[in-house]
Structure 1
Amino acid sequence: MLLLIKNSRVHKNKRARKRRCGVLPVLDTRTWMYDFLKACKEQHLKNPYFIQCDVLCSSLKNLFPDISVEELHYHLLTIGLFEPSEWKAIEQTVYRMEKSSMWELVSQEYERLKRKWNGPEIPIIIFPIRNAHLTRNKNTVLKNGAAFKEAIFLFLSPDLQKEEIMALLAHEYNHVCRLAYLGKDEKQLSLKEALIIEGFGEFAVKELYGEKWLAPWINFYSFDETVEIWKKKFIPSLNIVGKEKYDVFLYGKNNRHLPKWIGYHIGFQIVDSFHSLYGPFKDGGLYTKTADEVIAGSTFRYES
């Protein structure tokens, strides 16, 4: 098991306070969406953008006291929240998500993962993803997730299979567990720590549900392609700190000669190769290894 709870008494007290305040791990955001729809109908002269901000994000203010509701709203829209202009389709979208028991599935799987990894309790917020009401095609983005120290966000489509939802949750909750173990948030991470966090998150998917449910970026590049980029671009930058500095390495950027999703790809390959060489590990022991230990024991070495 991952020993992530350093002070069980403190965390138990926090959990008790959360429950007294009515904060459950998986928030019932269905009622928020219906309130948003009702407000759009009743306030037809008001821009749905501001209604969405008021109805959905004001409810989250207590979880994110350090940023404004407007900032939170803007950020959620950039990472997958449905567009305010989609309000007429929300009732049908939420109905289809309810019919698939998505909130119940996430709640059950979250409890299983929390026990398995001895992880912290954290609110989980489910919203429809952008364009969830449109006909599915090969370019449709069906899901996205984001993990913060305050909460996990899951942006979902009604068309998802249950394994896709569980894999997304496991990836994001593994991030939360790793950050809790390190005692850091993402702003304090170095590039090498960010790579290993992403690698751990996706390897957890492989370990729990099998290779079928892994993200497509794990197979984007060959080892020969990747190791050259690793030597030239990543090794000299592994100790840079701060999300604004390391994100370009995770997502890739043409003018830096970094292909799309390259950091995610490398992170998974590092962890996967380390596990192949030294695993299996009992009771989640893999996830307590340091970034230096995993990199040094993988097929991606520090040597240039």
Structure 2
Amino acid sequence: MGIIDTKKWLEDHFYEPTSICENMKASFDGDDSQNIYRYLSGFGMYKPSRRSKQTFEKMKELETWSKIESVYKKYKKKWDGPDVPIYLFPFQMTWRGEENKSGVSFPNLLFLFIGEVTDDKELEALFIHEYHHVCRIHSQKKAIEDYTLLDSIIMEGLAELAVKENCGEVYNASWCHLYDGEKIKQFWDKELKEHLDVKKTEEKHDQLLYGHGRYPRMIGYNTGFHLVNLYYEKKKITEKMQFTIKSEAFL
């Protein structure tokens, strides 16, 4: 497994992304390719356009596939991580403000959506974040539908702690520093601590994690990073312990 040759798929069917998604049906329990594309679009997969075609050409020019492959080999060895298929596609540049990359991870596969990223450390940071999720999911031995809001905020915080340790704080996601400790504490006391057991399948989970509706943007993610850093300053857990430690330890 490892890096899947999505470059070939894109060369053959760039303007037909649903045809590309036909190749991934087995990974999505045979779901319809249109549903798969709609789902991945929600995480930043490209929409066919002149601009996204330029992004694809830039990815080829920068040898993005081989760069991600070498980063994958590095962290698979370092973390003794699972062997999973990794799918690379261009990023939808108008999708999320100033962002130029995104990803989404599952227990057994990984997607990276990449814009015109010229800094290799940025690529590494993106990969670290998503592959860290895969490694933690594998180590926790817990069904995804049983994940709680606490599990999610800690998982996001730990992934960015790994970015900070391996690439430096400058490569942390912008949401890591959106709010100060006082704001986080107020949100924790007023909103979050009563809902830590909310399951991933419940609407409230994403509202609090992403900061939808009346909640501050990315507040759950930001709180997770804050909690994990507080714990790390006191305990100095090793990288491999980050995969096995229970979410409740951070409380």
TM-score by length of 1: 0.77
Note the C-alpha offset of 1:283: 5.4
Shift of 1:96: 1.5
User: Contact 2:136–2:242 (CA<8 Å) still a contact in 1?
Assistant: no
| One-letter identity of the residue aligned with 2:13 | F
Alignment-derived partner of residue 9 in structure 2: 32
Match of 2:34 in 1: 70
Please provide the CA RMSD for this pair.
1.8
Residues 1:79 and 2:36 aligned together: no
Distance 1:264 1:78 in 2: 18
Cα separation, 1, equivalents of 2:144 and 2:102: 18
Query: Is this contact kept in 2: 1:124–1:153, CA < 8 A?
Result: yes
Relative to 1, partners in 2 of residues 1:243 and 1:199: Cα closer, same or farther, differing over 3 Å? farther
For residue 52 of structure 1, what is the aligned residue in structure 2? 17
Work out whether 1:254 is the aligned partner of 2:213: yes
1:101 aligns with 2:59: no
CA apart distance, 1:67: 2.5
Q: TM-score, normalised by structure 2?
A: 0.93
Residue of structure 1 equivalent to 2:246: 290
Q: What aligned pairs does 1:1-304 form with structure 2 within 5 A after superposition?
A: 24-37=1-14, 40=15, 51-54=16-19, 56-84=20-48, 86=49, 88-89=50-51, 91-131=53-93, 139-245=97-203, 246-255=205-214, 258-279=215-236, 281-282=237-238, 284-295=240-251
How many angstroms does 1:254 deviate by?
Answer: 3.2
User: Per the alignment, in what secondary structure is the counterpart of residue 113 of structure 2?
Assistant: strand
Q: Go from structure 1 to structure 2 and tell me whether the alpha carbon gap of 1:93 and 1:139 turns closer, same or farther (over 3 Å shift).
A: same
Q: For the residues of structure 2 that align with 1:286 and 1:34, how far apart are their CA atoms?
A: 39
Matched residues in 2 for 1:251 and 1:104: separation? 32
Larger radius of gyration, structure 1 or 2? Answer: 1
- Paired with 2:30 and 2:58, the residues of 1 have a C-alpha distance of 34
- Which consecutive aligned stretches of 4+ in structure 1 deviate over 3 angstroms post-superposition? 88-92
Percentage of matched positions with identical amino acids: 29
- Runs (5+) with no aligned partner, structure 1: 1-23, 41-50, 133-137, 296-304
The 2-side partners of 1:216 and 1:167 are apart by: 12
Aligned length: 249
Mark the CA change 1:185 to 1:173 in structure 2 (over 3 Å): closer, same or farther.
farther
Distance 1:159 1:171, change over 3 A: closer
Structure 2 distance, partners of 1:236, 1:251, is 17
Q: Which residue of 2 aligns with 1:46?
A: none
Q: CA deviation at 1:211?
A: 0.4
Structure 1: distance between partners of 2:229 and 2:91: 30
The amino acid of 1:182's aligned partner reads Q
Superposition deviation, residue 170 in structure 1 = 0.4
Q: Which blocks of at least 5 consecutive residues in structure 2 are unaligned?
A: none
Given the superposition, is the C-alpha separation of residues 286 and 93 from structure 1 closer, same or farther in structure 2, using an over 3 Å criterion? Answer: closer
